[in-house]
Amino acid sequence: EIRRIRFSLFDRLVLTPVELVTAWKASLVALFLIFLLSGLGRNGFSFAGALSRGFTLGLTYLGALLMGAVVTPALLPWIPGRAFSLKGAQVGLLWALLLSLTLASNWSGASLVGLFFIAPALTAYFAMNFTGCSTFTSLSGVEKEMRIAVPVIILSIVSGGAALLVGRFL
């Protein structure tokens, strides 16, 4: 007899606060670093620049956290693909598109490239963390996904960060 396991929208949403709580300490450090790096520009460090650019980049980070830890799990059955990181990256691309059309609409081309590298990577990372909460993942499947996704996520964040910094000086 084959058993069916239910993992309803409610079941998934009940678990999302766990993901948010586990991410808060690292998020504080990330937001502080975003603030510091946002202040860098042609004339050195600018507190006003850190506030203005840091706001949008901080919102990018927090939005990616919510998109990966809440929206992706909520929409899990309807997002194409099997890998949680791939599902999160798709949601992250939509988040980057929304930001590029609103808050980041006046950014340079290099900065927009950075946004489109960073937002999907962060969202993919936070979505991948949800694998431990799901009822249908196996340890070997999670390990395989992480071996592939983590290096891509790191490369995307580093490349995106470099593009954002280059965009400040153009």
* Contact yes or no for 18/133 (Cβ under 8 A): yes
Q: Is the pLDDT of residue 169 over 90?
A: no
pLDDT at 140: 79
* Contact yes or no for 91/34 (Cβ under 8 A): no
Cα radius of gyration rounded to whole Å, the chain: 17
Note the pTM of the prediction, 2 decimals: 0.89
How does pLDDT run across 45-67, given as a tens digit for each residue?
999 989 988 999 999 999 999 99
- Measured distance CA(125)–CA(131) in Å, rounded: 11
How does pLDDT run across 72-129, given as a tens digit for each residue?
999 998 999 989 999 999 999 999 999 999 999 999 999 999 999 999 999 999 999 8
Q: Is the pLDDT of residue 132 over 80?
A: no
Percent above pLDDT 70 for the chain: 93
